[in-house]
């Protein structure tokens, strides 16, 4: 684990230094000073406030940005910093940016630890021009403040300027999102295969996992398939879906799966190519991540005009089952959609949202 991380960091570093000899190796790892552990010079700090545009090593800052250490804060607040010790807090209309070398046309996902600091509607705006997205931080998915998110973009030039911005104007200027680690991963886009019309149907291609990603990575709502941090998949509606890996969770097949943590408020979907009036067989696996999520679960699947509800009684022991449904395509494109019918929280922690696990989604024509 540690070694793999060190190697991926080294590779990322080589690539960031412009090593085109490594062009075949996809970029992956923390951004330079991506965990904010390289400290600003004491002269660039006034108490916790960063002074000057280039006061934080490797980053450019704008507006009121604080450099903080995790734990109890002066004034009574407590900031949890899950990845390392240091983090930045973005005040009203403040931002931090970094420009990184990328390959035009390639798909990337940023993975970052982010949390709100007050019980207000805090939003983190991520941009890599011309793309931009607003990440609502209202819902806390895990109770320990260690929520990690991914956001995808497609590079349009040789360099990409990654910016995290707090667009809010809160009444209390000491509120505003906390950012504690930023990593990147480049994807080779998965394709449908002879065995499966669904791209990335086993969720094996997903965002970078930060060290100690025991909370998984949240895939925020409203992600389009062209730029999704989970290649091939669309995240619909209001809340996140969680990407989970086999190191920290029980996943039915391979190295990764998704956990439907937000009930009916979030769906995962993919549009596949089909032949009208032809019949197809959709199969998928439903289970639990062995993370204390228990109870009567149900996953609903939709394909063309057909639906399937798969009940799953979770005892939180990492069991799973496979279900299938035959559907008739009505057009050249068929949307597959999945969501959890119910809401669940962990038996040992009512503050942590959880839900059924979805894996191994396959579609094949019926002979």
Ligand X SMILES: *[C@@H]1O[C@H](CO)[C@@H](O)[C@H](O)[C@H]1NC(C)=O
Residues 157-196 as x/- pattern, contact with ligand X by CB under 6 A: ----------------------------------------
Please report, as residue ranges, which positions from 320 to 359 form the binding site for ligand X (by CB under 6 A): 324, 326
Regarding 212 and contact with ligand X (CB under 6 A), the answer is yes
Per the CB < 8 A criterion, the answer to whether 169 and 151 are in contact is no
Count the site residues for ligand X by CB under 6 A.
9
For ligand X, the closer CB: 84 or 152: 84
- Residue 212 CA to residue 142 CA, distance in Å, equals 14
Instruction: Please identify which residue in 84, 229, 295, 356 interacts with ligand X, judged by CB under 6 A.
Output: 84
Q: Which of 261, 49, 56 is nearest to 141 (CA)?
A: 261
Q: In the complex, what is the shortest distance from the CB of residue 326 to ligand X, in angstroms, rounded to a whole number? A: 4
Alpha helices in the chain (DSSP H): 2-16
For ligand X, the closer CB: 81 or 184: 81
Per the CB < 8 A criterion, the answer to whether 183 and 113 are in contact is no
Q: In the complex, what is the shortest distance from the CB of residue 283 to ligand X, in angstroms, rounded to a whole number? A: 5
- Residue 209 CA to residue 204 CA, distance in Å, equals 13
Residues 283-322 as x/- pattern, contact with ligand X by CB under 6 A: x---------------------------------------
Please report, as residue ranges, which positions from 108 to 167 form the binding site for ligand X (by CB under 6 A): none
| Half-sphere CA count of 303, side-chain side, radius 13 A | 28
Regarding 77 and contact with ligand X (CB under 6 A), the answer is no
Please give the backbone phi and psi of residue 13, each rounded to the nearest 5 degrees, phi first: -65, -45
Please count the other Cβ atoms lying within 10 Å of the Cβ belonging to residue 88.
Answer: 23
Q: In the complex, what is the shortest distance from the CB of residue 343 to ligand X, in angstroms, rounded to a whole number? A: 29
Checking phi first, is residue 17 left (phi over 0); if not, alpha (psi -120 to 50) or beta?
alpha
Q: Which two tokens stand for residue 24?
A: 């075949």
Residues 268-287 as x/- pattern, contact with ligand X by CB under 6 A: -------------x-x----
Contact footprint for ligand X (CB under 6 A): 83-84, 211-212, 281, 283, 324, 326, 366
């Amino acid at each position: 684990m540690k070694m793999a991380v060190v190697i991926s960091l080294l590779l990322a570093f080589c690539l960031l230094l412009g090593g085109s000899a490594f062009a075949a190796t996809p970029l992956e790892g923390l951004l330079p000073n991506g965990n904010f552990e390289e400290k600003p010079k004491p002269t660039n700090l006034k108490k916790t406030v960063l002074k000057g545009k280039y006061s934080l090593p490797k980053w450019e800052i704008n507006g009121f940005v604080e450099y903080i250490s995790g734990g109890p804060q002066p004034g009574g607040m407590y900031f949890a910093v899950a990845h390392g010790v240091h983090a930045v807090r973005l005040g009203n209309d403040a931002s931090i940016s970094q420009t990184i070398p990328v390959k035009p046309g390639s798909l990337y996902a940023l993975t970052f630890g982010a949390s709100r600091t007050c019980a207000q509607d805090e939003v983190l705006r991520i941009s890599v021009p011309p793309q931009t997205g607003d990440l609502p931080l209202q819902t806390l998915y895990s109770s320990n403040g260690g929520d990690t998110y991914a956001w995808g973009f497609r590079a349009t030039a040789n360099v990409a300027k990654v910016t995290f911005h707090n667009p809010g104007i809160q009444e209390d200027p000491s509120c505003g999102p906390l950012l504690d680690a930023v990593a990147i991963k480049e994807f080779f886009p998965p394709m449908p295969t002879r065995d499966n019309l669904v791209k990335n149907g086993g969720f094996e291609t997903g965002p970078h996992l930060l060290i100690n990603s025991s909370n998984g990575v949240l895939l925020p709502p409203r992600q389009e398939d062209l730029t999704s941090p989970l290649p091939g998949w669309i995240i619909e509606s209001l809340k996140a879906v969680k990407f989970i890996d086999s190191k920290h969770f029980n996943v039915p097949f391979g190295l990764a799966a998704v956990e439907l943590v937000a009930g009916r408020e979030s769906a995962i979907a993919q549009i596949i190519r089909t032949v009208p009036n032809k019949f197809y067989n959709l199969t998928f696996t439903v289970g639990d991540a062995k993370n204390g999520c228990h109870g009567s679960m149900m996953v609903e699947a939709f394909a063309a005009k057909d639906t399937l509800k798969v009940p799953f009684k979770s005892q939180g022991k990492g069991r799973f089952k496979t279900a299938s449904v035959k559907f008739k395509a009505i057009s050249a494109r068929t949307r597959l959609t999945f969501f959890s019918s119910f809401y669940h929280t962990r038996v040992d922690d009512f503050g942590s949202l959880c839900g059924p696990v979805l894996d191994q989604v396959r579609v094949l024509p019926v002979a």
